[in-house]
Chains A and B, each alone.
Chain A
């Protein structure tokens, strides 16, 4: 793999187009219209945003050299504080409170890892336990009494929070009482045309304003981290803190800032769950999304754009799960089988016959499963995001490069 070509935007667009054609094909073959329906794409976006925000939190921390496996705990803190403020003073205050709650978890992580030099993973695990315990405890204490209880709170859930406004694009997707051209196009289930309409409508129909904010964070994060002095300092702490120190960068301060931002973004992911996805705090609501966000970040090679792509992939598989997509996942078996055949051919061409053989066997296995059944059982669909994560990590992790000093203990004034 010494001649790795750098992929640029046109390549990515070409790949995306090819995948869409293939998806459209399996949809028509299997009659599984949910594969590219606007409902699925809408759900994908809604489910991808928390994963993306959590992953962005991980990206900020790891760019400064602090592994943050406590994202899940910070996210849980964000759901609780978000719902607590949200049901009383409206969803946007809830969003701010969610960010603050997550940042509090980030502060704890920064104190433990930066000031006290505790192992990053151990501290993260502790924050996950603490975040879960604290919110369960506080939910029982706050949501289960008095006014909150009358509004529908309980020991495991908060009173409902007003959802954040959703907007649709006029004319194309039926915003503001205008015609819904893409929607009517989608209903015909034509090859490719309806798929394209479904995807576009999913991306422009009933989108929450907070989703828009999250999407804007992709270029903003890129700009701040790669195009400003502050970003350069943060990244230098993740690559070589001793060199940064010798150049006058205040490494502790940078790490604190990055981990606080990281916690805030994880908290925002939690707040998104309570103000957009399900307008309520519930115990166990995050369902491991913090960890999947971390995996999406690794998949995206510690860069915002790649992270966004990874989040959409996991959001899509999660959408299958949420929409009870046994039929759609069944069609996707064929999709993956075709991809595997392509991989097998590519590996055979590169004379890597073991890999080619494995891919071919897997493809045949999936094909047999596809032909032998009508739907995939719901219990198996439930872990499709996690299985995808595992496979993607297994296939991708060797081409990735994490920040050089990621996870290492650093103490001011010491030699390395």
Chain B
């Protein structure tokens, strides 16, 4: 119950970070915090339902997906920086092939 509330708070912090910033690295940090909220919620749900084994397996899957997303996103951020010379998300509004 308490963990659920704090997971929602982490989710809110992540969403706020993504919405309020223009820096691409901060957007990725916001996504990371969102995923941390989800991780906490999955483990709390597993503990509550008595199915902690499944919850842990799901968390491991989430972490693997998280790492891959971050690696590719970091590559994209570096590419954007190479092209525009900054990390401002407003510079990539006009996406052209």
Tell me, yes or no, whether A binds B: no
List chain A positions with a Cβ less than 8 A from chain B: none
